[in-house]
Amino acid sequence: MSKYWDAIIIGGGAAGLFCAGIAGQLGKKVLVLDHADVLCEKIRISGGGRCNFTNLHSSPANFLSLNPNFVKSALARYPAKEFIKLVQSYRIDYHEKHQGQLFCDESAHQIIQMLLSECKKGGVIVKHPVTVQEIKQETGGWSVSTSAGIEKSKSVVMATGGLPVPAIGATAYALDIAKQFELMVVDPRPALVPLSFTADAFANLNELAGLSLPIRISSGSKGARYGACRFNEDVLLTHKGLSGPAVLQASSYWIEGEAVHIDWLGAVEVGSHFNCDELFNNEDNRLKLTETILASVLPQRLARSFAQQKNLLGRKWAEVSKKDRQALKELITNWSVKPAGTLGWKKAEVMLGGVDTKELDGQSMMSKKHPGLFFIGECVDVTGHLGGHNFQWAWASGHACAQAL
């Protein structure tokens, strides 16, 4: 005989378990249902196995959503420092890697264990693998039919995540439920995903495979759904094109058919107050070779390649016309390439789009049309930048929901 739960949470991943632990510790009777044999697979593989669990600088500016203001309340009430305190209370050692990104020293497994311990403290029951067959709204509550019987509750929380990596159990179930209850869904699209390139787009850079350097990348456009972006990040040149964090960040804003733009000197400028015009107009450089001047701020192989592309290899700077200097500068600071596509859901880290935030109350994550139905984590149209922001959203939205349950 099943009991009447305060909340049934569908999906025992980052947002679902975190929400369950808090609600349980607040005295709620909570059941978590997950279809996977092994829970939290995404946490396990995250951050190369070390889980980039939050970011010191996580703020609303790090999220894409049709309504960028939606994240504000949840993030303000559960900022990164709160999650860090929890991690510290479990004596999990961590380190900052890059731009505020926090990783476990040891293993992502420690974060999973912490979430499960928090659930245990709250008396949460976690059942898996269980298939959820139907969710129905009834007078005063909800009925959830599963492969293990029918469960009844006051609230249902959808925490089934996004579509990336179907091989480890990702489904569109939260979006299907949103549609079943006539809630709007913003079209899902892979994000933080490698971009693919055609071979001819890289004819000039082919021999540079393996080179990694900091650059400034931009993509998207102001009028586009999620606007435009500019990131200073590392790019990796590969035999198939470009990859690395710069490309992943740009992919979230990329508009199909459009180019992404790279300023190969952009990150140098930021780092050392370097001024590109000074380099190009400095008369002390008159007797130096073009590739030598470029190599003072770029890796040598790249410097040679740029000089070669403009037929300036081996030419002294004094011999290079103003027009050619300008063309070289344009090539280096506004280099464009049109991606052919993305590598899709198999390789994406996160989903763009999801349940439209217009349908949800930003304080509680509850559906405005169906009180008692909540959506948290990646299934909501909130997508973080690379660097721990997606987990921060899972924690913050899970916390907001738990307070409201």
Ligand X SMILES: Cc1cc2nc3c(=O)[nH]c(=O)nc-3n(C[C@H](O)[C@H](O)[C@H](O)COP(=O)(O)OP(=O)(O)OC[C@H]3O[C@@H](n4cnc5c(N)ncnc54)[C@H](O)[C@@H]3O)c2cc1C
The residues binding ligand X (CB under 6 A) are 10-16, 33-36, 39, 42, 45-47, 51-52, 132, 159-161, 164-165, 169, 171, 173, 349-350, 377-378, 388-391, 394
Considering the complex, what minimum distance in angstroms separates the CB of residue 309 from ligand X?
35
Strand partners, 190: 351
For ligand X, which is the closer residue by CB, 229 or 396? 396
Residue of 356, 358, 363, 391 lying closest to 377 (CA atoms): 391
Q: Which is nearer to ligand X, 328 or 382 (CB)?
A: 382
Least distance from ligand X to the Cβ atom of residue 88, Å: 18
- Residue 348 CB, shortest distance to ligand X, in Å, is 7
Residue 198 and residue 212 in contact, taking contact as beta carbons nearer than 8 Å: no
- Beta carbon of residue 405, minimum distance to ligand X (angstroms, whole number): 16
User: In the complex with ligand X, which residue's Cβ is closer, 242 or 350?
Assistant: 350
- Rounded least distance, CB 16 to ligand X, Å: 5
Contacts 24+ apart (CB under 8 A), 172-177: 173/10, 173/11, 173/132, 174/10, 174/11, 174/354, 174/355, 174/375, 174/379, 175/354, 175/355, 175/379, 177/135, 177/373
Q: DSSP secondary structure string, 3-18?
A: -EEEEEEE--SHHHHH
> Which residues fall within 8 angstroms of residue 250, CB to CB, at 6 or more apart?
195, 217, 218, 219, 229, 231, 260
Rg (CA), the chain: 25
Report the residue number, 46 or 252, with the smaller CB distance to ligand X: 46
Supply 334's token pair: 């506004």
CB closer to ligand X out of 10 and 312: 10
SS (H, E, C) 273-306: CCCHHHHHHCHHHCCCEHHHHHHCCCCHHHHHHH
For the bound state, the minimum distance from the C-beta of residue 32 to ligand X, rounded and expressed in Å, comes to 9
28 three-class SS: coil
**Quick one: residue 149, left, alpha or beta (phi over 0 = left, psi -120 to 50 = alpha)?**
left
CB of 100 to ligand X, least distance (A): 12
Q: Residue type for 376, please?
A: I
Smallest Cα–Cα separation from 222: which of 214, 213, 230? 230
Q: Give the residue at shortest CB distance from ligand X.
A: 13
Give the nearest distance from C-beta 24 to ligand X in angstroms. Answer: 16
As a whole number of angstroms, the distance between CA 125 and CA 120 comes to 8
| Closer by beta carbon to ligand X, 115 or else 268 | 115
Min dist. Cβ of residue 198 to ligand X (A) = 26
Residue type, 317: W
Q: How far is CA 158 from CA 34, 125, 365, 375, in A?
A: 11, 16, 10, 5
With respect to ligand X, which residue has the nearer C-beta, 78 or 202? 78
Burial class (CB in 10 A: 0-12, 13-18, 19+), 203: exposed
- Kindly tell me which of 162 and 266 has the beta carbon lying closer to ligand X: 162
Distance in Å, CB of 376 to ligand X, minimum: 7
Residue number, 18 or 254, with CB nearest to ligand X: 18
Tell the smallest beta-carbon distance from residue 370 to ligand X (Å): 19
What 3-state DSSP class applies to 167?
A: helix
Q: Rounded CA gap, 116 and 13, in Å?
A: 10
d(CA 285, CA 53): 47
CB-wise, 285 or 342, nearer to ligand X? 342
168 versus 199: smaller Cβ distance to ligand X: 168
